Chains A and B, each alone.
Chain A
Amino acid sequence: MKVVVLWSDALIFLLAISLVVFFFQLRKDPQIRARWQQVFSSRLGMMTFTVIIAYVSVALLDSMHFRVALENPDGLETQEVFYDNNVTSVLDVLSGGMGERFERTYSAPFALKSFEKQTLQDEMGRTVRDFPQLKHAGVHLESPQDKWADVGQRSLYALLMGAALSLLIILPQWLLLRNSPLPWYASWAVQGILISAAVWMVSISRYYHVLGTDLGGADVLYQTMKGIRTGVLLGTLSTLIMLPIAVTLGIAAGYFKGWVDDVVQYLYITLSSIPGILLIAASVLLFQVYIDINPDFFSIGMEKADAKFIALCFILGVTSWSTLCRLIRAETLKISQLGYVQAAHAFGVSHVRILWRHILPNVVHIILITFVLDFSALVLAEAVLSYIGVGIDPSMGSWGNMINGARTELSREPVIWWTLAGAFLFMFVLVLAANLFSDLVRDAFDPRTSLRRSEA
């Protein structure tokens, strides 16, 4: 086994670690602590946060990549170890080889037979046109009539296992946090549901295709799960690239005023006057041309797809800083008029120190709100970009590519709905959780809304 660290893997772990550090730093501030407590004192906050954490953990599991060592064929007299060209992730292992059970082409959820007729030989040796049996669905059944009874029985068994596992995970939390004033029980309920659902999906997938298969015969449930990493990573990485640009320029413009302000304003008006989608599309196309001309930069296909992906995040980040920059500039203008900043000036405190100690902490709430809000917008944008043809590389699973590949199949009879349903459902849950959570964060951190609440 050989560990593979893609650039995006390194970045996602760096991101996760820095978020945790950031969180603990913020905990020291009693005011910010009180705000977070407000977010988590609502059941909705607990539940949506748990869902987001679940998606992020799947993304992290899917970011630990390695290449399996191949067994040398007999007779080959060498000590050298060869590795599989396909990169596997920990998620692939945990899902019990869900991604390795390929069929020929489309098949419906829980179907036993393929979606398309094929020329077959029956027992008597005659050729007939019929729906062929699937290779990996219900092979253990004695007759097709037993299917639903078998599914029911296995589901019951899986759900019991899931309940046991949930209990095992929730129990220590309960022992630790039972006296906490926060509504942890809401989080535990969601954890229980998610864990049970995961156990159910993995164990049923061994015998059936829960969400059917797609054109190439790949399991749709597996693909939707692979889409999680792409969505989460795109949403966080692009914002992370955008933040330093927006914060530096916004604070500089609002604090130094004068020509700095003019230049920054000119920059963001120019940038925001260009239709966003065109700018993104043009940049992505140019990068594509660049890669096509220099094909020998990357050793394996996955690295090329990964480079394209990071370029996309980079482009999305660089093209979208103007809104946040405008907000931060306005807030900094306001703050730098306040008494404590004037006092700091009078005491001869250096610019850098004023910016770091007095201005930056007071715009953190804007950054935070934007981070959560942009996340859901970016996850949705990915699907649209893939449709336009400037999105994620097709070899890297993403919800946008799934939707794009399946949208014309609705005109078939009977309808092939499962690919679309899977991608839309997984995307909807993530975006809904992020949107609801961002509402709560905004309510807690935005001075305007918290002021209104204290009046009421």
Chain B
Amino acid sequence: MFAYIVRRLLYAIPILIGVNLLTFTLFFVVNTPDDMAVSQLGEKYVTPEAIENWKKKNGYDKPLFVNADASGTSQLTDTIFFNKSVRLFAFDFGRSESGRDITTDVSTRMWPSLAVALPTFIVGIGVNITIALMVVMFHATRLDRGAVFLFVALMSISYLFYIIGGQYLVAKSWRLVPVSGFVPEGQVWRFLVLPVMVGVIAGIGAGARWYRTLFLEEANQDYVRTARAKGCSELTILFKHILPNAMIPILTGVVVLIPTLFMGSLLIESFFGIPGLGSYMLDAINSQDFAIVRSMVFIGSILYILGLILTDISYTLADPRVRLS
């Protein structure tokens, strides 16, 4: 098991190098530092000196890959590629274009993101599984068909509609909670209730439909027929036979998401004014702060790979037939 995890972690390295090369190509080869300087400075004030100054200030005045002027190892280290990309591996994110330390920003903004994403995730799974189980109990009836139609309809509604509608109804018309905002301590829950609720409701359509399919797949298995023939009650079949067996596909789909919860949700956070990583990314995109975008891409891919490894481990825990080797 331990050896497996170590090997998987080693496999992650070429993938991260790939991610790094891809972002590097996007940010420095397709779009050279000169172009960036022009778009950051604005077209009016572009002089060759201004561009040089901007590049020097932000550390873009070096060659891309190999610095022929330097000597020894600094031929490779005193380059843009090393300074801007390789350093990410040491979790040294450097400074954003506006001069803020990205590492500090990320570590403080992670917690508000998690405060919204984690409850949404847990409550969402609970609600979706409950609804799906109820629907499965009425399988092949009018109620089941109606529910499936309802799920598809819920899926077809834009996420923005859920957010805007939720804010309008709950916060503006009924005045139950504030429309948006966040305080680090005290009545945090007042600011969290609405985003979590919106997140859960928006996920019901796709989630419950997916769980229903998983449950039905198990319900067609022979062991269910046997259990029924033995005279088990439908409730026992549902909770003792179908649910535990359906946990395996549920785990694969769900565990991979857990690490990415740290990244937060772009839309929810920006609409509800939560100072998490999601709104951090959005601000970075809007202000074209490529240093932040690059760091977030790197963090995101690490978390995704972590999720894949966790999925494999959870497999062995849930299904004794699976052995990692």
Residues on A close to B: CB < 8 A?
266-267, 269-275, 277-279, 281-283, 285-286, 289-290, 292-293, 376, 380, 383-384, 387-390, 403, 407, 410-411, 415, 420, 424, 427-428, 431-432, 435-436, 439, 452
CB atoms of B159 and A274 under 8 A apart: no
Q: Which residues in A have their C-beta under 8 angstroms from that of B157?
A: 424, 428
Instruction: Tell me if B192 counts as interface (CB < 8 A to partner A).
Output: no
Q: Find A278's partner among B18, B30, B168, B281 (CB 8 Å cutoff).
A: B281
Q: Find A384's partner among B31, B267, B281, B290 (CB 8 Å cutoff).
A: B267
Chain A's nearest CB lies how many Å from the CB of B142? 15
Digit string of B152-186 for contact with A (CB within 8 Å is 1, else 0)?
11011111110010011000100000000000000
Whether A390 contacts B285 in the complex (CB less than 8 A), given A282-B26, A410-B164, comes out as yes
Chain B's nearest CB lies how many Å from the CB of A412? 11
Dominant secondary structure of chain A at its interface with chain B:
helix
| 17 A-B pairs whose Cβ atoms sit less than 8 Å apart in the complex | A270-B18, A270-B22, A273-B15, A274-B304, A278-B293, A281-B285, A282-B23, A285-B288, A286-B26, A286-B31, A403-B158, A403-B160, A410-B168, A415-B168, A427-B158, A431-B158, A452-B220
Instruction: Tell me if B14 counts as interface (CB < 8 A to partner A).
Output: yes
Name the residue of chain A whose CB is nearest to the CB of B30.
A286
CB atoms of B286 and A389 under 8 A apart: yes
Name the residue of chain B whose CB is nearest to the CB of A408.
B164
CA distance A383 to B288 in the complex (A): 20
For chain B residues 4-63, which have a beta carbon within 8 Å of chain A? Answer: 14-15, 18-19, 22-23, 26-27, 30-31, 35-36, 38-39, 43
Name the residue of chain A whose CB is nearest to the CB of B43.
A292
CB atoms of B31 and A420 under 8 A apart: no
Whether A286 contacts B27 in the complex (CB less than 8 A), given A270-B18, A292-B39, comes out as yes
CB atoms of B158 and A283 under 8 A apart: no
Instruction: Tell me if B296 counts as interface (CB < 8 A to partner A).
Output: yes
Q: Which residues in A have their C-beta under 8 angstroms from that of B18?
A: 266-267, 270
CB atoms of A274 and B164 under 8 A apart: no
Chain A's nearest CB lies how many Å from the CB of B234? 19
CB atoms of A289 and B304 under 8 A apart: no
Most interface-central of B39, B43, B160 (chain A CB within 10 A): B160
CB atoms of B285 and A273 under 8 A apart: no
CB atoms of A428 and B286 under 8 A apart: no
Chain A's nearest CB lies how many Å from the CB of B174? 14
Interface size class of B (residues with CB under 8 A): 35 or more
Q: Which residues in A have their C-beta under 8 angstroms from that of B35?
A: 289-290, 293
Chain A's nearest CB lies how many Å from the CB of B10? 14
CA distance A287 to B244 in the complex (A): 49
Q: Which residues in B have their C-beta under 8 angstroms from that of A277?
A: 266, 281
Name the residue of chain B whose CB is nearest to the CB of A275.
B300
Whether A383 contacts B160 in the complex (CB less than 8 A), given A266-B18, A286-B26, A436-B152, comes out as yes
Name the residue of chain A whose CB is nearest to the CB of B173.
A415
Whether A389 contacts B285 in the complex (CB less than 8 A), given A410-B168, A411-B172, A452-B220, comes out as yes
CB atoms of B282 and A388 under 8 A apart: yes
CB atoms of A420 and B290 under 8 A apart: no
CB atoms of A282 and B290 under 8 A apart: yes
Given A273-B19, A407-B164; 5 other pairs, CB 8 A cutoff: A266-B15, A272-B304, A282-B27, A285-B285, A435-B152
Name the residue of chain A whose CB is nearest to the CB of B220.
A452
CA distance A18 to B126 in the complex (A): 45
Q: Which residues in B have their C-beta under 8 angstroms from that of A403?
A: 158, 160, 164
CB atoms of A274 and B22 under 8 A apart: yes
CA distance A431 to B158 in the complex (A): 9
Chain B's nearest CB lies how many Å from the CB of A7? 21
Q: Which residues in A have their C-beta under 8 angstroms from that of B43?
A: 292
CB atoms of B15 and A293 under 8 A apart: no
Name the residue of chain B whose CB is nearest to the CB of A421.
B161
Chain A's nearest CB lies how many Å from the CB of B257? 12
CA distance A45 to B13 in the complex (A): 48
Most interface-central of A275, A290, A420 (chain B CB within 10 A): A275
Q: Find B158's partner among A380, A390, A411 (CB 8 Å cutoff).
A: A380
Q: Which residues in A have their C-beta under 8 angstroms from that of B155?
A: 435
CB atoms of A384 and B160 under 8 A apart: yes
CB atoms of A274 and B160 under 8 A apart: no
CB atoms of A281 and B15 under 8 A apart: no
CB atoms of B160 and A282 under 8 A apart: no
CA distance A368 to B152 in the complex (A): 19
Instruction: Tell me if B227 counts as interface (CB < 8 A to partner A).
Output: no
CA distance A435 to B156 in the complex (A): 7
CA distance A94 to B168 in the complex (A): 37
CA distance A380 to B297 in the complex (A): 23
Q: Which residues in A have their C-beta under 8 angstroms from that of B305?
A: 273
Whether A273 contacts B301 in the complex (CB less than 8 A), given A289-B36, A384-B159, A452-B220, comes out as yes
CB atoms of A293 and B39 under 8 A apart: yes
Name the residue of chain A whose CB is nearest to the CB of B152.
A435
Chain A's nearest CB lies how many Å from the CB of B46? 10
Instruction: Tell me if B263 counts as interface (CB < 8 A to partner A).
Output: yes
CA distance A452 to B221 in the complex (A): 11
Name the residue of chain B whose CB is nearest to the CB of A404.
B160
Q: Find A270's partner among B15, B281, B286, B290 (CB 8 Å cutoff).
A: B15
Q: Which residues in A have their C-beta under 8 angstroms from that of B14?
A: 266
Q: Which residues in A have their C-beta under 8 angstroms from that of B296?
A: 275, 278
